[in-house]
Structure 1
Amino acid sequence: MTLMLASVLSSAEADTAVDCGVDIVDCKDARRGALGALSLDEVAKIVASIAKRRPVSAVVELPHDASQARAAIEAAAATGVDFVKFALPMTPDLHEVVDSLAPLCPRIRLVAVLFADLGPDLEALPLLARAGFHGVMLDTAHKGKGRLLDHVGVGALGDFVSRARALGLSSGLAGSLEAPDVPRLLVLAPDVLGFRGALCETGDRQRALSPAGVKLIREMIRRPHAPAPRYAEVDHVFVRDLVMPVDIGAYGFERGHKQRVRFSIDAEVFRDIGPDDMRGVFSYDVMTDAIRIVLDSGHIELVETMAERVAESVLLHERVRAVEVVVEKLDVAPPASVGVRIRRERAHHTSALHAKTGA
């Protein structure tokens, strides 16, 4: 289950966030950059206002001196927050910094933040896991210069989440995320999606939280016991004739270089009869993402395997009833193309159809 984190800068905003159903309240001063810390007095007020209704995290601006860094983290933890977040310093002494903080991990849940737009080194993840860190988030340092997905492809984000999970680390994704990004990232199953700007008036992260903005994102990240969306007719959402270079082929001569492959996807999608906004939209981005995720997995021998994996990825979205995937290799016998067309349905839709028809 993916949790929704909302960054707040006051107890009033914290109350708004809780009232709108966020899962984690994050104390952060958005006016002071990507990871600006609030004063400890303000953090304490937020903790008191939340009164254990939700977990609370707080940002710490980590001093370079190890002993001062530990003191800063302990001071933040003393306010009663559940998590302490800080930017992981990607410096030559990274090992020493992490080792110096390891003794805090049995008492304080530490979350390290890596910046996608500053070339993060994911080899730091095993180091964090060995030290006992609670989790790791991928964020952006320079707000206004692109969203997380502008800096890191969906396949690489999936790899980040998978590597963190394999190491026992909680994973989070943030970085100027907007409503259309939510369905694209939910399929990766991160533990947390973090937001600020998308929740604020006019999308300005330095302005106050907007209840409408918070509710929009909250309803796009469905909770396990939330009422099921109301669906009406079935629409067809499609991507046609997308040509990409692909590492594919079973023959030896096909290895070591990419071939042109054409993809077409047609998804049968239940239309949400709720609000006329992003909550009711199934974006074609999730289908192009499915292709990119499969391509990022490495060499694939058969077009049939590629088509199956793309179909499986699209069907992860609960609103998709069925999907048809066409994969064509264009360089085998030009000007002709060769390939495969498959159709796959969501299992429970097939069962329901059989029950109605008596088949």
Structure 2
Amino acid sequence: MTLMLASVANPAEAETVCAGGADILDLKDPSKGALGALDVDDAARIVRSIGKRLPMSAAAGSPGSPSTLADAVAAMAATGVDYVKIGFSPDRATADCARALAPQAKNTRLIGVLFADYAPDWDFLRIMASNGFAGAMLDTAKKGKGRLLDHMDIAALDRFIGRCRENKLLCGLAGSLEAPDVPRLLPLEPDYLGFRGSLCHGRVREDAIDPSLVGIIRDLIPREVEATRNEPGVDWRLLLGRGFVAAKEQFVETDLIFVHDLVLPCAIGAYDFERGHTQNVRFNIDADVLRNDARFDDMRGVFSYDVIIDSIKIILGRGHVDLIETLASGVADEILRYPCVARVCVRIEKLDVVRGTVGVEIKRERTAEHSIATARVAALPGNAA
């Protein structure tokens, strides 16, 4: 299950996001950039005010040398937070810095932060893991210069999370995330999504947190609820949020959400001559979406074409596909993960094979298996969700 992380700068903001249902508090000074560290006394004050109600992380900044980095981490860990975050931009993302923190990683859970706008090196995740880091996070360094998805596409984010899993690291995504980004990122199943600016008045990250904006983000991220069925070995969840709200069975009205004439370069084909390069493929997707009884004027009541496009890009980003039928089936299954989608029609055409088009069209409907939400529960201590 993906958790909601909210960054706060003082005890009042911490209480606001606690009341709004955040899963993790993140302590930082937003006026100092992406990983601006609070004064340790201010951080300790927030820790005392919240107690053990929620797990907490804190930014230790991005010091310039291994020795100052170790000192900053030790000072922030002494405040009592559960996790300490350290930024690794390219000029600092060195094995020496990670090794300097290895002794502290035995007693302090460290989260290494890479920046999507600084061409991060996924191989550094292995170095983090080998030196005892608990997790990794992907953020943006230059606030106001684009969202996470402006700097890295959905397929690249999928690869980042996959590499974190390979290295047994917790993984988080942040970076000027907005409400419409949430349902696009949830299918990747990160352990948490991090927010600051989208929670603040006027969506200005240096301003105070607005409780109503906290509520919007909270409603978009599914929370674990009491299981409603007793099948052994099945983890049943009611998925909330845009595209994750299961409509009541008695509803028969549907909306058609479609993506037509989307042409993308694809690594596809079973013949030898089709390997080693891409060819143009056209996608036409029609999804019948069950209308929900809750009608909103914001993202919480909407299923977007963005998630259809992202479903295609996630699959294409995983490498060569031999058969167009396999691609079509994978796209259909990815879209049917959303409980509000009743049925989907996927038409895929190869454009470079003949003078014309060849391809396949499949239609799939929701089954009992699709209705099972199998989101993985993040193993964060103190999770009260």
Q: Report the TM-score, using the length of structure 2 for normalisation.
A: 0.87
1:278 to 293, 299, 309: 299
* Residue aligning to 2:377: none
* Residue aligning to 1:333: 354
Q: How many Å apart are 1:230 and its aligned residue? A: 6.8
* Residue aligning to 1:132: 132
1:14-163 matched pairs, under 5 angstroms? 14-91=14-91, 94-163=94-163
**What CA distance in whole angstroms lies between the structure 2 residues aligned with 1:90 and 1:98?**
13
Q: How many Å apart are 1:170 and its aligned residue? A: 0.2
* Residue aligning to 2:275: 255
Q: How many Å apart are 1:92 and its aligned residue? A: 7.2
Q: How many Å apart are 1:308 and its aligned residue? A: 0.9
Q: CA RMSD of the aligned region, Å?
A: 1.8
* Residue aligning to 1:186: 186
Superposed CA deviations along residues 263-296 of structure 1, whole A, max 9, x for unmatched, are 0111121223322210001110111111111211
Larger RCO (alpha carbons 8 Å, 6+ apart): 2
**What CA distance in whole angstroms lies between the structure 2 residues aligned with 1:346 and 1:171?**
30
* Residue aligning to 1:300: 321
Partner amino acid, structure 1, of 2:59: V
Instruction: Give the match's secondary structure for 1:348.
Output: coil
The structure-2 alpha-carbon separation of the partners of 1:168 and 1:257, relative to structure 1 and needing over 3 Å to count, comes to: closer
Q: How many Å apart are 1:250 and its aligned residue? A: 1.5
Partner amino acid, structure 2, of 1:250: A
**What CA distance in whole angstroms lies between the structure 2 residues aligned with 1:296 and 1:61?**
32
Q: How many Å apart are 1:347 and its aligned residue? A: 1.6
Q: How many Å apart are 1:82 and its aligned residue? A: 0.5
The structure-2 alpha-carbon separation of the partners of 1:281 and 1:144, relative to structure 1 and needing over 3 Å to count, comes to: same
Determine if the alignment matches structure 1 residue 316 to structure 2 residue 345: no
**What CA distance in whole angstroms lies between the structure 1 residues aligned with 2:123 and 2:148?**
19
**What CA distance in whole angstroms lies between the structure 1 residues aligned with 2:189 and 2:137?**
13
The structure-2 alpha-carbon separation of the partners of 1:39 and 1:342, relative to structure 1 and needing over 3 Å to count, comes to: same
The structure-2 alpha-carbon separation of the partners of 1:71 and 1:272, relative to structure 1 and needing over 3 Å to count, comes to: same
Identity across aligned pairs (percent)?
52
The structure-2 alpha-carbon separation of the partners of 1:52 and 1:157, relative to structure 1 and needing over 3 Å to count, comes to: same
**What CA distance in whole angstroms lies between the structure 2 residues aligned with 1:257 and 1:79?**
53
1:27 and 1:43 in contact (8 A); partners too: yes
1:321 and 1:349 in contact (8 A); partners too: no
* Residue aligning to 2:287: 267
Q: How many Å apart are 1:348 and its aligned residue? A: 2.0
**What CA distance in whole angstroms lies between the structure 2 residues aligned with 1:115 and 1:90?**
9
Q: How many Å apart are 1:34 and its aligned residue? A: 1.1
- Please list every run of at least 4 consecutive aligned residues from structure 1 whose deviation after the TM superposition is greater than 4 angstroms: 226-230
1:11 and 1:46 in contact (8 A); partners too: yes
Of the structure 1 ranges 255-264 and 34-43, higher mean CA displacement relative to structure 2 is found in: 255-264
**What CA distance in whole angstroms lies between the structure 2 residues aligned with 1:337 and 1:44?**
64
- Unaligned 5+ residue runs, structure 1? 352-359
* Residue aligning to 1:170: 170
2:93 and 2:124 in contact (8 A); partners too: no
Of the structure 1 ranges 219-228 and 125-134, higher mean CA displacement relative to structure 2 is found in: 219-228
The structure-2 alpha-carbon separation of the partners of 1:321 and 1:230, relative to structure 1 and needing over 3 Å to count, comes to: closer
- Unaligned 5+ residue runs, structure 2? 227-237, 372-385
Q: How many Å apart are 1:350 and its aligned residue? A: 8.7
Q: How many Å apart are 1:164 and its aligned residue? A: 0.1
* Residue aligning to 2:382: none
The structure-2 alpha-carbon separation of the partners of 1:263 and 1:38, relative to structure 1 and needing over 3 Å to count, comes to: same
The structure-2 alpha-carbon separation of the partners of 1:237 and 1:93, relative to structure 1 and needing over 3 Å to count, comes to: closer
Q: How many Å apart are 1:305 and its aligned residue? A: 0.8
Q: How many Å apart are 1:68 and its aligned residue? A: 2.8
Instruction: Give the match's secondary structure for 2:179.
Output: coil
Q: Report the TM-score, using the length of structure 1 for normalisation.
A: 0.93
Partner amino acid, structure 1, of 2:256: H
Bigger share in helix: 1
**What is the aligned length?**
351
1:273 and 1:280 in contact (8 A); partners too: no
**What CA distance in whole angstroms lies between the structure 1 residues aligned with 2:299 and 2:63?**
41
Q: How many Å apart are 1:349 and its aligned residue? A: 8.3
The structure-2 alpha-carbon separation of the partners of 1:156 and 1:230, relative to structure 1 and needing over 3 Å to count, comes to: closer
Of the structure 1 ranges 88-97 and 78-87, higher mean CA displacement relative to structure 2 is found in: 88-97
1:239 and 1:287 in contact (8 A); partners too: yes
